[in-house]
Amino acid sequence: MRFLPVSLSTILVELADLDETLALFASLENDPVAGIEETVPAARTLMIRFRPEKIDGQVLAAELSRRDLTAKIPPSDKLVEIPVHYNGEDLADVATLTGLSIDEVIRRHTESEFTVAFCGFAPGFGYLVGGDPALHVPRRQSPRTRIPAGSVALAGAFSGVYPQNSPGGWQIIGTTPLKMWDIDREPGALFQPGYRVRFLDMDKASGKISLPVSEAKPRKEPSREGPHFEVLAAPMPALFQDLGRFGQTGQGVSASGALDRGAFNAANRIVGNPHNTPCLELTLGGLSFRAASRTVIGLTGAPCPVTIETAEGRFTAKTYAPIPLEAGDTVTLGQPPKGMRCYLAVRGGFDVEPVLGSFATDTLAVVGPEPVTAGTILPLKTETNEFSSVAIDEVTAFEPPAMDEVVTLDVVLGPRTDWFTQKGIETLTNQLWQVTPQSNRVGIRLAGEVPVERRDSAELPSEGTATGAIQIPHSGQPVLFLADHPLTGGYPVIGAVAEYHLDLAGQIPVNAKIQFRPIGPFADITAKNT
């Protein structure tokens, strides 16, 4: 085993192969280690997020190094059959790469029995192993920007099915009409770790293939009867957020959640709400809404100008302070001069339904409550049992950056820093990186004069990625992952922003510049016995 730093609270365990990875994962599932919060298995690594106040990284490494990696995972009783039209646009290329005929590629794929090794990349995307070794092919040299949902594909030793339209570099050999991810199904992902999978050639099937249909769960329609806000304008959709959706990595669903957690928590304290009450995350202001009843709101994060129009006239309000509203009052938020995101809390909370146990909206996975746009009715809760007093002494944890500023972010080097030359590491840490307009909740896309130089062009097997990870694609221009990043990734991560600077990262506007500052040299984690 090799133990590599990911961040201050996450390590990556590198193992010999997938069998060892799954054995360690099963060992931790059967006999958990106190302090471990989440584990993400991948091709030959296990990413482990832990609580540093509960267990030290070196002590955790020592505990993991004692685990038995020889145990084999018993096969599941669950068999999933996937009907396929073998009409993929890369089918002929796969035949050429393997030296087989197209018919032989199809035959070998349908005669194989696969196992779902792990899930990642997107909700419902299962990495399938156990297929015919003759079908092992490399990823495409140039990834596609859009692969349709239902595409059956190959890459390396894996087969898989894209659950939704997404970019990707796997070789497409066919399509299936089955819905791989369905939030109305239980569980939502058709593939679960350990399931056995077989593919059926629909064009040669003798009988009619029936497709399962899930019944949509009833959704509560918003009502104007009780207390509510009516959204009058939302230039950018507002998103419900909480502190994240945990425990769903087995379905390929990452945590998501508020990008500025400190501002989110402060918004709830300002109105006296219980911890982790869902708030609205607003990007670059612009929201306008009318209150239908008396209530109190709080706004935190980026300093949006706040205008309240009442029956008596118009006045301005401050952020980081309780703002009382009467029925008929209209609230309009301007564009913040600094920062990117502000958080709107209302006393008692919004009456919104959770999705997979959380109110977080994951824009990449398309999981969470519906985005809030003009015309949306936002019902408010009226329960007061858990209220506390409003907080009148809240202050911002940091001054949000402006678009012409340089923002310094502390970085933990790893886990793949040694995939880069010394010059590449110096380029990352010495050069200023400009935030591009292509940035969003998935990640901040950066541009610099000199790309980060790699040692070689070797292909990295997919492995878990953490919020704050700085991934370096072939272009050498970094992507700083934010809360909606994919659970796994196939490009090397040179470092990760320290957890205490993640809120700041979530507030960096387009055209600002970032300076990465390592908090120490890159080194493997050594096991320390207690």
pLDDT at 205: 76
**Helix ranges, 378-489 (H):** 422-430
pLDDT above 70 for 207:
no
| Ranges 3-17, 93-107, 204-218, 284-298: which has the least confidence | 204-218
pLDDT-above-90 percentage for the chain:
79
With cut-offs at 50, 70 and 90, classify the pLDDT of residue 405.
very high
- Please give the Cα distance from 278 to 285 (Å, whole number): 18
- Please give the Cα distance from 247 to 255 (Å, whole number): 8
**Helix ranges, 240-339 (H):** 261-271
Nearest residue to 261 (alpha-carbon basis) of 239, 281, 284, 285: 281
pLDDT above 80 for 208:
no
Q: 0.85 exceeded by the pTM? A: yes
- End-to-end CA gap in the chain: 19
- 496-528 tens-digit pLDDT: 999 999 999 999 999 999 999 999 999 999 998
Q: Are 527 and 3 in contact (CB under 8 A)?
A: yes
pLDDT above 70 for 186:
yes
Would you say the C-alpha torsion 282, 284, 289, 294 has a positive or negative sign?
positive
